[in-house]
Amino acid sequence: MENKNKGLSLFALIMIAIGSTIGSGVFKTPTSIASAVPDIASMNLLWIAGGVVSMIGALVFAELGSRFAHAGGVYTYLQSTMGKLPAFLYGWCLLTVVSSGTIAALIVVFADYGQKFLGYSDDMIPLVAAISIVVLTLFNTFSLKSSEWFANIATILKMIGIFGLIILLLFFGTSPVDSGPIVTTESGEWDWAKAFVGVLWSYTGWHYASFVSGDAQNPKRDVPWAMIIGTLVVTLIYVLCNLGYTHVLTLSEITNTKTLAADAAEKVVAGSGIAVSLLIALSVFGCAGLYILATPRIIQQMAKEGVFIGVFAKAHPKFGVPLNAILLQSIWAIVLVFYWGKFESLYTYVTITEWFFLLLTCIGFVLMVYRQKMLGSLRLIVFSILALLFSAVVIWFISKNALSDDPAAYFGLLVIPVGVVFYYIFKNRN
């Protein structure tokens, strides 16, 4: 009963699902996507395809969420369907690649857009990003309620601003003369898989509401609905926003801008670029805060289960948050800011690895249905087909990129065998 009075509401979970997804992607990744597709129609199609793939994943995860309602999200689902080692490897990669890398990427975008109205040099961007991570970390040590308040306000303001941008671009902008195709690969073919990295990075986050299931008022009902509603809202926003960009800018202009949303707004209303830059800076700042809030609980759970260093199992005696895990994640995020530096490298590093574990989770769902002889249920047959369809798309996406010559595309996956070694070290020690 106490949890129902004090836990996260459905509205708060939806805000986490939306806020964790809408961060930097829609404001930044269209630049790299535009350089890998032949025309505007293809670019719009990719955004729709990303929404469809994400919705299929969200439906499968919603079914898992209705069966495994305790906290942990992907970690819990993998542990329940595939065993302790895959679950540990997810938590390990969450710390070393996914969450810390996402925080780093978001804060680099924050620093990029902040540069537009504060005017500091490019050399200062990593330092500004590092200081920003420190500030967010301090804020998230106070309490669950203060973090929930932060998430709700930041997400609401962000969505109001995004819809304002969409209206400005679609209804007040004028269409440019498209310059046509801009680049070609060496083989003369367009790199759809590379373009899809930016799309799936932008959609990643719909499953983050499941990370805080243990703090929800009604996890079996609210967490699945939060993922589904959140994905629908995000897909609508992304498609409309991309239509807005391509309504006022050519592919060439999109490819060559550093602050896409601000430049698009500036083309419609002179002087609006500064206001949009401020909006986006606040947006990605708030989104990074959500990642700092949600993911350390996975590290805390691993430590409680004896497969990670025990000190990270502890919660702050006054505020109740997993302070040690939050600090560890933030410190590593700062390291990644200085190591990778570029936003494109950071999101590629993160996306390939994270979607690999989303793939494993869907495969785990199919294995669970098969092992427990649930194929007599039409509902579970449908969800199994969806899981296999999702898996096929993600296997294509990962294999095409991991075999490329971009180190950011496979460095995250190389962390996995290192995690296997650490798993057996912790297991034998305990």
Q: What is the CATH number of the domain that holds 44?
A: 1.20.1740.10
One digit per residue, the tens of pLDDT, for the chain of length 430 reads 444 455 778 888 888 788 778 777 788 889 888 888 888 888 889 999 999 999 999 888 888 877 876 666 788 889 889 998 998 999 899 889 998 999 999 999 899 888 877 888 888 999 999 999 998 888 777 656 666 676 667 667 777 778 888 999 999 888 765 545 444 444 445 788 888 999 999 998 888 777 777 677 887 788 888 888 988 989 999 999 999 998 898 888 888 887 888 889 988 988 888 888 887 887 788 778 877 877 787 788 788 877 788 888 887 767 677 888 889 999 999 999 999 888 889 999 999 999 999 999 999 999 998 888 777 778 889 999 999 999 999 999 999 998 888 898 889 999 999 999 989 888 877 6
Distance CA 201, CA 197 (A): 6
Number of folded domains that form the chain: 1
Read off the amino acid at residue 20.
S
Predicted local confidence at residue 178, as pLDDT: 54
Please say whether the beta carbons of 242 and 22 come within 8 A: no
Q: Which residues contact 250 (CB under 8 A, 6 or more apart)?
A: 176, 177, 178, 179
Domain enclosing residue 53, as ranges: 2-429
Here the tokens at position 217 are: 């008022």
Asked if residue 399 lies in contact with residue 275, where contact means CB atoms within 8 angstroms, the answer is no
- 337, 104 Cβ separation under 8 angstroms: yes
Report CA torsion sign: 299, 301, 307, 313.
positive
Angle (CA) 134-137-140 rounded to 5° is 155
**Which pLDDT score is estimated for 133?**
93
Q: What per-residue confidence (pLDDT) applies to 336?
A: 94
CA distances from 270 to 51, 252, 264 (A): 32, 21, 10
The C-alpha atoms of residue 263 and residue 371 are separated, in whole angstroms, by 54
